[in-house]
Amino acid sequence: MLSKHLNKNNLHHAYLIEGAREEIVPEIFSFCENLNIKTSGNPDFCHITIDNFKIDEAFDLRSMSGNRSFSPAKKIFVISVNSFSLDAQNVLLKMFEEPIENTHFFLVVPDTNSLLKTLVSRFYVISARQGLAEEAKSAEKFINMPLQKRIDFIKELLVEPEEEDSERNEIVVLDSTRSKALKFLNALESTLHKKLISKGTFDTGFFEHIFKVREFLRMPGSSTKTLMESVALIVPNL
């Protein structure tokens, strides 16, 4: 998927890749290895997987990217993020406006629509959203479930993740329940849209509800469980 966008002789300084990180990140690693860039034990290669990218992470990234490299080779940052705070995006705006020589960024996100348009404009954008196949399968099953099964599904979806160890040049923070809910909502909305189009009908009522739930999920302090249970109640059985 990525090979047609990545030119090893003319790398863009910053790529924004939309899709499933489980499929995209290994492709980036493989591409880097083909450039003879080591992806482990290399202080000039940094892999960050983080749920919510806040202003502190933005300042840390700006600091790390500005440090002198340990070798004449390229400095690479592979960053997988589910959501960004507005403050963090504003910090990154200035950073990506001024490219750093021999430093390249691969930013992987599930949905570019959640980012400021001015920030997106700083990147070479690649969409690989077809990689979200597992979420789409779950959404299809969810639509056909009776209410109690939907509630049980949501309870399982929102189980808190366990911590993982990380390598010296890799920072790993697993998806929060809020981020998993947002990913599932994106897949559910897309699946519902396709099913309604195939039936020749289109009722926007529950789409408006999904939109509102998505907005509330991005607000600190909101109840993920309550919001997702409201989706279980409103989505029609098709």
Domain-by-domain residue ranges, the chain?
14-130, 133-161+175-234
Superfamily covering domain 14-130: P-loop containing nucleotide triphosphate hydrolases (3.40.50.300)
| Residues 6+ positions from 32 with CB-CB distance below 8 Å | 39, 45, 76
pTM for this prediction: 0.65
- pLDDT tens digits, the chain, 238 residues: what are they? 677 788 777 888 999 998 888 889 999 999 999 888 898 889 899 999 988 899 999 999 998 888 777 777 789 999 999 888 889 999 998 888 877 888 999 999 988 877 888 899 899 998 876 545 677 888 899 999 999 999 999 999 888 765 554 555 555 555 678 778 887 887 888 788 788 777 666 566 788 888 888 878 877 778 999 999 999 998 887 7
Rg (CA), the chain: 19
CA distances from 138 to 5, 6, 54, 156 (A): 30, 32, 30, 12
Largest CA distance in the chain: 60
